[in-house]
Amino acid sequence: MLKLLLCFGTRPEAIKMAPIIHECKRRNISFKVCVTAQHREMLDQVLDFFEIQPDYDLNLMKAGQSLNSLSAAIFNKFDQVLELEQPDLLLVHGDTTTASMISQVAFHRQIKIGHVEAGLRTYNKSSPFPEEINRQIIGKIADFHFVPTINAKNNLLSEQVPLEQIILTGNSVVDALEWAGVKIERIGLPQEIHNIQTCLDPKKKLILITGHRRENFGKGLEEICEALLELSQNTDIELVFPMHLNPKVTSTVEKTLKDKPNIHLIAPVSYPSLLWLMKKSIFIISDSGGIQEEAPAFGKPVIVTRNVSERMEGVEAGFSFLTGTSKTKILKEANQIIGQPPNFEGKKNPYGDGKAAQRIVAFLASLARSSSNE
C-alpha cells in the first residue's frame, strides 16, 4: 500500500489541494494531511469550508516572521513528521515557502515527491518573489510533476525533465470552484456576504481589488493605490478591496484609500465570499495567481498588477491584462474594460475542466498498484 502524505500551509494551497483530498476519499485511497499553517486564520477558513481535518498541524505562523525563520521552523518541525510517518510519497503544491522547504526535507530523506501545479515559470527570480525560485527548486527534486497546462509541460521538457514524469492534469482550482458552487447552493450564502451587500450600491458597477505580492510592496503598491483613487472618481463604479493581513499592505492602502467615496476597504474575506465578489464584479484588479486562474470560470477580465506572469495562458486567451504597477497602464486598461467589456462567450477556462483531481488521483492509484505488485 502506498503511504501518501499531503502537505500545505497557505490558503491558496489548501483550496487547490482540497479537491485531491476529496477525490482520495471518494476512491478510498489512504492518506494523511499535514499543514504548516504558514497562514493561520486564512488557512483555517478554507479547512473548515472544505471539511478537511489535518492529521498534523505544525502551527508555525508568527507575526512578522521572516522567510528565513519560517523556513528554519519548517525544516525542524516537518522533519519530525517524516520521522513518524515515513511516507512513500509526499504531495506538495505550487510555489510557497512551505512547499519548497518540505520538499527539501523529504528529498534529504529520499522520499519521493509529487508536485501539483508544476512547471509554471517566469524565469525572473525576482518576480514573483520568492515563489519563482521556490517552484524551480521543487521542479529540480520532484519525482512526479502534475502540470496544469501545455505551457507548463513544455517548460519542464525544456529543463530536461523526463516526459514520463510529467502528467498533464489541468488546474485543480477549477475543481475547487465547482465543489464550492455545489456546497454554497446547498447551504446558502454565508452571513459575511450579506454583510458586504449592505455596504454596496446595487446601481453601481463593482470592481474587485486584491494585492499581496512582496515585489509590489512600497512604491509599486503606492502607485496602484493612486490608480484606484483616480478610478474611484467615476461615480458609476465602486471598488471593494479585501486587504491582505500583512501590515506592509494595510498601512500603504489605508494611507491613500481609507474613507474615500466609492472605495470599500474590508477585512480578508472567506473563500465563498471571494467567489461571490468575483462573480458580481465587472472586472478584477489583482496580483494573485489564483485569481488569474479563477476569473475565467466566471468570464471576468483581470488587470494583473505584475510585469510578468507565470500564467500567460490567461493573457493569450484575452482574460488577463499585464500592467505592472503603472498607474497609467492600470487606468488605461480599466477604462477600456468599463467602456467596452470584452466578450468571453464560448471561451473556455484555459486552466482546466474541473477534472484535475481525478487525473492526479488516478495516477496515484496506479502508483499504489505498482508498489503492491512489486
Q: Report, as residue numbers or ranges, the catalytic residues.
A: 212
Residue 115: in which H helix or E strand, if any? strand 112-116
- Residue tagged 484555459 (cell numbers): 350
DSSP letter string over 205-269? EEEEE----GGGTTHHHHHHHHHHHHHTT-TTEEEEEE--S-HHHHHHHHHHHTT-TTEEEE---
Secondary structure letter of residue 224 according to DSSP: H
Rounded to a whole number of angstroms, the CA Rg of the chain reads 20
Smallest CA-to-CA distance from 8 within 103, 112, 88 is with 103
N-term to C-term CA, the chain: 11
Hey, what amino acid is at 275? Answer: L
Residue 29: in which H helix or E strand, if any? none
